């Protein structure tokens, strides 16, 4: 195949006034001149080849292979196709997609009615590609899912995408996970939520958001009536007053549409959890609460156990990597056994719980038939714990796919081994083999299905 000399773009290209640095790729100033993409000729694969030759771009073999697969699906008459060009795919040689590659890709997808999902996670599109992603959102009217996680997109790229969503009316789910849009970019996304009325799920986890942008999201969500799920994991917060938790708690009192809230690594302490629980007494929509990786102890669980006595909407709670210990586990088990009949999944992974607390949780499942999923790995198992969970599994009360432990026996003694099940095992990665949408590995998403894609 004939191809010209390759031009490269750095992994993180600043985007003050113009985008790609190569002379053969149009800059934003010239983009209007070449904005009318040619109609697809024969197939996406052929269209890609023709565009690369026309624009003197090197063909990306991985991208070409992905387009070939989509062509085959289109020939079978399928619609609603997700184009998956994840850069962390290890089952085949991968040349990661850059901003210039994404420019060509956006030209192909602009007028394609068959593709409604685009997954370009773990590539190198940077702010250059973010510019063309923004243009794609303005021109492509069938795209409902866009995954840009870990693509080296900075504040400027975040601004461009957020502003493109002001007028977009089709996108339902956007993942920006791991792109360092920082506080500046976060403010643009918060402003977007005051205008956009179609986006249902937004993931800004690990984006280095600041306190200002978290507060701005809390304010925007008191008015926004369409967002059903938002991920604000791991902001960069300073101070000991838990301001972010206070503002998000106030938002929960006002918002009655939000179904999922992710607050992992928010430095939530017991006082902050009490603020959240006060809000949950009033909130009647939230079904999935992730407060993992915080500083919650047994004293904070008293507030959570109390709210579970009256709250009938919460179905999934992720308490992983806190420190509730035996006292907290027993307090939860008492509520689950005698009062709550709405919670379906509970994760207490790595919470310094010992045998007494773990056995109490297992006993609560005998009277509570609603609680179907429980995850306990990373705590301190004794023989009583191993026997208790072995009995739950063997009697059929706890299905093997609904927990992260599996019993086995050695010399007449019961033990528990870890299995790869959880609420969101495939949040950051997907397996090379097997089902990436496995219900056992992504139980949280199957119990509370907000967004069709992970």
pLDDT tens digits, one per residue of 305-331? 999 999 999 999 999 999 999 999 999
**Cβ-based neighbours of 398, under 8 Å, separated by 6 or more:** 365, 372, 374, 389, 392
- Number of other residues whose CB lies within 10 A of the CB of residue 381: 20
| φ, ψ for residue 360, nearest 5 deg | -60, -40
| φ, ψ for residue 270, nearest 5 deg | -65, -40
- Alpha-carbon distances, residue 326 vs 297, 330, 356 (angstroms): 10, 6, 6
Q: Is the pLDDT of residue 32 over 90?
A: no
Exposed / middle / buried, residue 363 (Cβ in 10 Å: 0-12, 13-18, 19+): middle
For the stretch 136-161, pLDDT in tens is 999 988 999 999 999 999 999 999 99
- pTM of this structure: 0.88
Confidence of residue 239 (pLDDT cuts 50, 70, 90): confident
CA distance 451 to 217: 20
**Cβ-based neighbours of 422, under 8 Å, separated by 6 or more:** 347, 349, 375, 404, 441, 442, 443
Q: Are 278 and 304 in contact (CB under 8 A)?
A: no
Confidence of residue 21 (pLDDT cuts 50, 70, 90): very low
**Cβ-based neighbours of 190, under 8 Å, separated by 6 or more:** 213, 216, 217, 219, 220
Return the structure tokens found at 241: 């007053």
Q: What is the pLDDT of residue 434?
A: 61
Exposed / middle / buried, residue 378 (Cβ in 10 Å: 0-12, 13-18, 19+): middle
Q: What is the pLDDT of residue 436?
A: 64
For the stretch 110-132, pLDDT in tens is 888 899 999 999 999 999 999 99
Stretch 402-425: mean pLDDT: 94
CA distance 213 to 299: 30
Q: What is the pLDDT of residue 404?
A: 96
Q: What is the pLDDT of residue 179?
A: 97
């Amino acid at each position: 195949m004939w191809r010209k000399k390759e031009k490269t773009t750095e992994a993180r290209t600043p985007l003050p006034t113009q985008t790609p640095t190569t002379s053969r790729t149009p800059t934003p100033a010239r983009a209007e001149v070449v904005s009318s993409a040619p109609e697809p000729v024969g197939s996406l694969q052929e269209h890609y080849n023709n565009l690369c030759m026309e624009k003197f771009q090197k063909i990306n073999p991985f991208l070409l292979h992905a387009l070939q697969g989509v062509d085959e699906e289109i020939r079978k008459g399928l619609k609603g196709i997700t184009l998956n060009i994840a850069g962390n795919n290890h089952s085949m040689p991968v040349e990661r997609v850059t901003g210039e590659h994404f420019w060509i890709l956006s030209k192909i997808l602009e007028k394609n009615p068959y593709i409604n999902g685009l997954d370009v996670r773990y590539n190198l599109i940077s702010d250059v590609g973010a510019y063309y992603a923004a243009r794609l959102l303005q021109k492509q009217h069938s795209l409902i899912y866009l995954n840009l996680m870990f693509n080296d997109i900075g504040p400027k790229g975040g601004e461009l995408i957020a502003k493109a969503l002001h007028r977009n009316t089709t996108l339902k789910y956007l993942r920006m996970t791991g792109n360092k849009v920082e506080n500046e970019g976060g403010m643009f996304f918060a402003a977007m939520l005051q205008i956009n009325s179609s986006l249902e799920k937004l993931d800004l986890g690990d984006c280095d958001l600041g306190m200002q942008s978290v507060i701005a999201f809390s304010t925007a969500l008191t008015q926004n009536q369409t967002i059903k799920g938002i991920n604000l994991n791991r902001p960069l917060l300073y101070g000991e007053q838990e301001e972010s938790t206070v503002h998000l708690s106030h938002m929960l009192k006002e918002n009655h549409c939000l179904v999922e809230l992710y607050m992992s690594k928010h430095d939530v302490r017991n006082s902050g959890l009490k603020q959240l629980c006060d809000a949950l007494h009033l909130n009647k929509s939230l079904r999935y609460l992730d407060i993992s990786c915080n500083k919650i102890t047994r004293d904070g669980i008293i507030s959570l156990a109390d709210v579970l006595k009256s709250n009938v909407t919460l179905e999934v709670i992720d308490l992983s990597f806190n420190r509730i210990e035996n006292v907290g586990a027993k307090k939860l088990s008492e509520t689950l056994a005698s009062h709550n009949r709405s919670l379906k999944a509970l994760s207490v992974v790595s919470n310094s719980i010992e045998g007494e607390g773990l056995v109490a949780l297992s006993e609560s499942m005998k009277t509570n038939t609603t609680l179907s999923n429980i995850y306990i790995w990373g705590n301190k198992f004794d023989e009583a714990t191993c026997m208790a969970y072995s009995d739950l599994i063997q009697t059929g009360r706890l299905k093997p796919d609904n927990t992260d432990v599996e019993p086995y026996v050695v010399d007449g003694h019961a033990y528990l081994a870890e299995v790869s099940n959880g609420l969101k095992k495939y949040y950051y990665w997907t397996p090379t083999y097997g089902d990436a949408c496995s219900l056992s590995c992504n139980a949280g998403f199957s119990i509370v299905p907000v967004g069709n894609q992970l």
